[in-house]
């Protein structure tokens, strides 16, 4: 398969990027088709028409859940890329940062072993367990991305979380108005990867 996704290049069979996330990516509380992953697919149709995003996100998932689901999803979808957006629910439960790190590292390595590139999205961390815990969780994403040499998007929801009118009533989940900004935070890191090798 030859799949070159940007405008002006040859278009052949479909390439895919697998989104493995939690409620921030599954569209929790949003009207169907309005989440950032849905908007990503709409953008891909114009900017990289050989590509599609496959949303394997499940509301409530932790990094352990994602690790359990990733291998079957890779075998089923055979994606060229994987976006990992997990850890927020771990942080809400006070999961030790080392456990989060180990689970994410295993996911990264599984994805690369399957021939996919990886983009890691930082999880938002609420101050429930104190500043030291929040800083440790935040830092593990930076360290892990550097150690595993994968692309990283710093907290892609933090920008909307501080703006009025961008959150749902629970104060945790971004609303429909926030989804475009969430995609805009991810797109600059994702766009350069939209090339498929010949197969």
Which of these is catalytic: 16, 26, 122, 173?
Answer: 173
Task: Using CB atoms within 10 Å of the CB of residue 180, give its burial: 0 to 12 exposed, 13 to 18 middle, 19+ buried.
Answer: middle
Which of these is catalytic: 23, 25, 26, 57?
Answer: 23
User: Is 78 one of the annotated active-site residues of the chain?
Assistant: no
User: Is 23 one of the annotated active-site residues of the chain?
Assistant: yes
Radius of gyration in angstroms for the set of CA atoms belonging to the chain, rounded to a whole number: 16
Which H, E and C letters describe 57-87, residue by residue? Answer: CCCCCCHHHHHHHHHHHHHHHCCCEEEEECC
User: Is 38 one of the annotated active-site residues of the chain?
Assistant: no
CB neighbour list of residue 178: distance below 8 Å, 6 or more residues apart? 157, 160, 163, 166, 167
Which positions are catalytic?
Answer: 23, 170, 173
């Amino acid at each position: 398969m030859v799949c070159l996704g940007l405008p002006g290049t040859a278009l052949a069979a479909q390439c895919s990027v697998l989104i493995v996330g939690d409620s921030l990516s599954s569209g929790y509380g949003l009207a169907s088709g309005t989440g950032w992953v849905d908007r990503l697919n709409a953008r891909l149709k114009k900017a990289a028409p050989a590509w599609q995003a496959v949303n394997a996100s499940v509301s409530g998932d932790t990094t352990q859940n994602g690790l359990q689901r990733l291998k079957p999803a890779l075998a089923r979808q055979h994606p060229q890329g994987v976006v990992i957006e997990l850890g927020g629910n771990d942080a809400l439960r006070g999961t030790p940062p080392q456990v989060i790190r180990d689970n994410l590292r295993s996911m990264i390595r599984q994805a690369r072993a399957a021939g996919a590139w990886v983009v890691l999205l930082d999880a938002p961390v609420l101050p429930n367990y104190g500043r030291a815990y929040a800083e440790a969780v935040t830092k593990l994403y930076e360290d892990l991305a550097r150690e595993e040499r994968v692309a990283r998007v710093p907290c892609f929801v933090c920008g909307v979380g501080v703006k009025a009118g961008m959150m749902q009533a629970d104060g945790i989940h971004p609303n429909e108005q926030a989804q475009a900004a969430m995609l805009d935070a991810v797109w600059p890191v994702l766009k350069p990867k939209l090339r498929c090798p010949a197969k």
